[in-house]
Structure 1
């Protein structure tokens, strides 16, 4: 009997450890997901353009294939690669984060620049009515997965940096959970967005009540505006997240003067509004991070145009368009 009781005690202890580990993983996943929120917003804002121009019956299959490609990027390629890097060359994590942050700043600044100074793209994609739809669909999916890889790399690197140091298996499970959940959220939201106009058209045409038909027409009218808002939010998120990543990386590398000044200025702004100090301080810091991100991105535009553009063409066989 005593042996059985001892065994039950051991099982109970193991169960407590397992429960604590689950709690730790959940907490770490939530923290990592929150840290990557800005890039997630951009990911959701970017993806709908890849199904623009296709027939309604091809939209969900295209999104499904892009989502599967995104999962492969995160779980098969990035997860083991980042864990190996964290184990054998952890000092490379901060520079990689900064590189990804600088890329986000460049992408955001490029969108702002082309919104302020619009001009025709140098390369115009073939129209669906004149090209092979299957070939164009494959090109769109491949391009979306390549873009997703860059955003996924940033998401997973941010997540890894936010996870407390611990056992490798715990870090791997946490990263897998973050990557999987973010993929489900992003592409689930994209699927809802791109199909909402079809839902609206159906309601407008077949609604049994005037209110239902009116709601359908409202959805159809709303979707272009929603996509425009998502594009703006995605751009702002890129500049904010990219700028904050680079500034934090500078602090990690011993160049903390800018980050300290931004923190102090944000604190001053917060004290000016005692009723909402924390909120005002957060907003002020986000704005200053975004301004820095925009300035850095504008500086990087000519560098990317002259150096990265030709390299992109050599790797992909096509010229990089000014902005996604």
Structure 2
């Protein structure tokens, strides 16, 4: 990487080449870290948010840090206030380090970095500092998987759990809804690198300690081709890979401009893909009740002062 990886910025597959010390890149962000919200969040997978009462009853939440901006910018984004609206507060790497340590002190099961890709070198430095200052809980990299292998390699040894989406296996859908026709090939390469770094999911006493969990957001009409994503994972990573089959889609942001996705997911659409997952023989997965939608979307406009 160049001496200042933000000038010009080539961190993500967009490779916009913008000098982010002078103006925002395609991600909408400049050279400063920007965070919208940090909180204990119980809306993640059970092994991240905490175990169920049937186990230890230890549900303290995932220590989520929601970064502002995004390099994928989906038309149906449920977090559009921060991903495209820029909502948030600027902070330094030292501030981010302190935030991570404070989340551990508050009882978080992990530090969950949500949409951090466009800030990778800054987050990397904060992670190094946090570990040096006593951070012991796992670090989760929660991303769209629209990332370069080169950038991901700079995180090797710093991230314990990768939590990527595999949003599209259809290039036309990726182009129409996210402006990223190269998403399928880019995301698959990124996920293979993540798997190389951390391997399969390891869970101890109900909590994830290390490994890969792939999220599959089912779009109406299966327009992202989740079935092909499952096929690819089975063939390339194996059916022991942890899968989170997500039925929480609801039309948000600009979805009303696209009639085919301007509706919630139908239970039958989700059930069909769940059967496909089971038919392939996946052994380690999380499923949802269809329609578990906006209830788990944080309020990014709440007063945090």
Higher relative contact order (CA 8 A, sep 6+): 1
Which of these two proteins has the greater Rg computed from alpha carbons?
A: 1
More helix by share: 1
| TM-score using structure 1 length | 0.23
- The structure whose residues are more often strand, as a share, is 2
